[in-house]
Structure 1
Amino acid sequence: MKKYLLILLALLPMMLFTACSSDKEEETPNALVGTTWHYFEKKGDVIKEMVVLEFKSNTVVKFINDFNLDKNPTKEDHDEFETNYVLKGNKISFKIEENTIWGEVNGDKMILQEVENGKLVKAEFTKR
């Protein structure tokens, strides 16, 4: 009987100190995390608008918009904010206020689209 008791006592520390795996899976960064993308709207050879997307994490992107780029830019022409995005495969979507923006990421190109004033508007972003 003492023999079995000693074996059980020897096994007890191994069972007590065996770690269980974490219930929370570690988040693996997607391919967009840490990347920057830009879009330029031109009128002839003049850039009228610039939009920059900086992907901060698996769910957060920073938008930087510069509108009415001319010789006299003002603070009203510049806007920066962060919002959430969802990436599933190469499909991406954002929600900005009441607008939904969606599109696809293919290599160094990202085509985004939204409905603006009843019309479908597309923009092609390039990875920096």
Structure 2
Amino acid sequence: MKVHFFWIDRWNDGYLFPEARSYDAPNTFKGLIFSFLNDDEGHGIKCLSNWIDEGLIEIEKISNGELNYYDMCAFHAWAAEITKANVLIYWMYDDTKYDENMSFECFYRIIKEWGAFLKMVPDLDHIVEFEC
């Protein structure tokens, strides 16, 4: 699937927010990873970026075989149970209706790219695309 990261002026006030989407994902793909990526609970981009960086430290341990499992909880709503065999993304208020599995490799790539994207200067013309 092709992943797109971009900036939007959500409220037409000049303040840009990061967004992520896939426009060619299979019909069975719910896209919960994108809700997970943006779950800052209003704390802002800096807090979100720090949380992604902290999560990447643990995810890299899984990639290197130093850690078997990591539960990356977002700010009150979204979480991901991460193992090298699978990543389960779920909404913490109802982990039956809103859950989705994805490969570790795809999840890891998305998180790494998202972490780098959040550190860039926001710009409506800046778009990052990659295959996952």
User: Is TM more than 0.5 here?
Assistant: no
Between Structure 1 and Structure 2, the one with more strand by share is 1
Larger radius of gyration: 1
**What TM-score, normalized by structure 2, do the two folds share?**
0.30
**What TM-score, normalized by structure 1, do the two folds share?**
0.30
Between Structure 1 and Structure 2, the one with more helix by share is 2
